[in-house]
Structures are given as C-alpha cells and as structure tokens.
Amino acid sequence: MSERWLVAMSGGVDSSVAAALLARAGHEVVGVTMDLGEGSSRDVVPRPAKKCCGLPDAEDARDVARTLGIRHYTANYRDEFRSAVIEPFVAEYAAGRTPIPCIACNRVLKFDLLLRRAEALGARGVATGHYARIAPAPDGGLGLFRPRDRDKDQTYFLFDLPRETLARIAFPLGELEKPAVRALARELGLVTADKPESQGICFVPGGDVRAALARLRPGIEPASGPITAADGSELGVHSGAIGYTPGQRRGLGLSGGPWYVREVRPAENRLVVDRAGALEARGLRLRDASWLDGAPPSGPVRVTVRHRHKTVSARVSAEADGSVEIRFEEAVWAPAPGQAAVVYDESDDRLLGGGWITGASA
C-alpha cells in the first residue's frame, strides 16, 4: 500500500538512497533538509562544505529530489538545534563531562520535531539514512536492531528513542551494505553517489573541541592550570581543563609518560592523570536510563561505552535511587562521564536501551 513518508535528507548519499528506495517502492516521498544555522548571519559556526546539514548540502538534497521526482523543502530548525544540542553540549563540557550531541540531535530534531511535521503533512512517519533495523522483538512489539552492515552501525546513537515512535520510523538502509548504497546512487544518477561522508561533530570543525567551546560560549576561554597525578603531585601545566576527556593522551605535554587523563575538575581548572591501567573499570553507574522493553534487562547483556567499539558481557541492575549499575565481566577502558553506555541483548543484535555515564568503579 502506498504511503506518504517524510525523509530527512542531509545532502549525503545515505539519506538520498533512503528516499530513492521509498520512492521506488511506490510511496509518496517528501524530502526535508534541516537548516541548522549555516549560511546566515546567525550561524552557529562556520563549517566546511563537506559537513552535513549546511545549506550547500541542502542544494545537493534538492538536486537529488529533482532527479527522483519528489518534493523537497528546507526547514529552519536553528533555534531548536541551539537549545537542544549546542547549549547542552557546552554545558556538559563546562561541567567536566564529555557529551554526545548526535544522540540529542537524533531524538529531538529528527524523531520528535520531524515526526510532528510528518503528522502535520499527513505522512506515515519519518525515514532517515541511518544504518539500523526495526523488526519484531520477542514480545511481539517492535524492536531496534543492528543493521546488516555492522561497520556502519548507528544504533548507539538511537538508544533513547521511545519504543512507541518505532512504528512511525523507517530505516530503508538497514538491510544494505554501504557499497551497495553507493552503487544504487550511481545507478540512479544521484549527485551524492560519491560524496565523502561527514566525520565528527558537525559544529566542531577539525575536531577542535576547545576552540569550538570558546567560540560557542564567549567567556569560556581556557586558562592555564595544574596537571596532577592521583596523589596530588603536580606534573605539569595545561592551557585549559575544559574540553579534555578521560582517556585522552594527546595534548598533555608531560614527560615520563604515557599519561592519560583520568579526571577533569573544571571547578579547580585541574586535570588528574594516571597510567592506562588505572583507567580500567569493571562497573559503571548511569543516570536517565531508558529501556525499550520498559525495564532494565534481568539477564546477561552486551554493553558498549563507545560508538563502534566492541561490546562486553555484563549485567544491569536498578538501584534504589533510580540510577542503574552495570557490572562487566571484563574491564572496559576509560569510560567517560557524559558518554552513553548502550545495552544490547545477549546475541549482541537487539538494542535494549542504555543511559548516561556518571561514574566508574573498579
């Protein structure tokens, strides 16, 4: 049965092919590119042309829409992007944590605001170019699963989607591998067929977090402070603690290494460093956990604390204060407060949920 779908078109090859697949299946497709601030006097930050969601990318998305014969619109979400993504990103770093802005961008921008727009347009829901699958879960409801192309798996960034939204979301690329996606784009003559992938955080050019923070929040400019060992002995001086993350080695400038950031203390403008072994953790505590099945899993699971990193066998338990504790069967290295711990079933295929890391334990 033909349905109307709103497709979030970033101007890249993945979302272009997602739109093409739905159109090929006979659905009515409406492409929407989110203008998040580039190209105007109110820019969030200047950005190279290869990054997603800028106005040059909207032109590519529009070109693809013309080729496919579908409607395309560019929608202004600058204010929403700043309040939901930029400002929390800055606040988390200022508090000594390491945020993941892509998770909020997906949940709030794509799968909340765009779902509302889809409803207003009479569409079934929102489709994107994410590499993930939606399929029946063991209880008969819908679940979120890893894609066929594990190298492109993006489920880590989708862990906190409410289960009730899955019926109104489509991931057309879930059963495809990236080479096949590019081949189909070439076959269809899409301008994005060989377009390089965007890398890193879209509003942090070159991956320079500290420079981005200074630009995004005037007054947060870095100031020098001490680098100390765990016992308090001073080892060196940094040029600003905010923007460092646990596990980081680069940029410390210390002799007698290797040294790694163990803790960021922004109130003291202090970095605490240690040897690699001291950053290994067998347990984590999480806040604001969300579970697609409605409750923490009771049996063995697989957990990852970084995108595309291996999962580790673990068990999850709910605490009386509402937090969640995870105990690993083997140590994980340098989990960072502010990052997400994402939980999969024992087969390492179905996403069960996750939460935000507040601390680690031996």
Query: Looking at the annotation, which residues are catalytic?
Result: 105, 202
Q: Return the closest-CA partner of residue 93 out of 308, 289, 304, 240.
A: 240
Sign of the C-alpha dihedral, residues 342, 345, 348, 351?
Answer: negative
**Exposed, middle or buried, 155 (CB in 10 Å: 0-12/13-18/19+)?**
buried
What is each CA distance from 281 to 209, 239, 274, in whole angstroms? 25, 28, 14
For residue 226, whether the previous peptide bond is cis, meaning omega lies within 30 degrees of 0, is no
Q: Return the closest-CA partner of residue 302 out of 339, 351, 340, 336.
A: 351
3-class SS at 211?
A: helix
3-class SS at 304?
A: strand
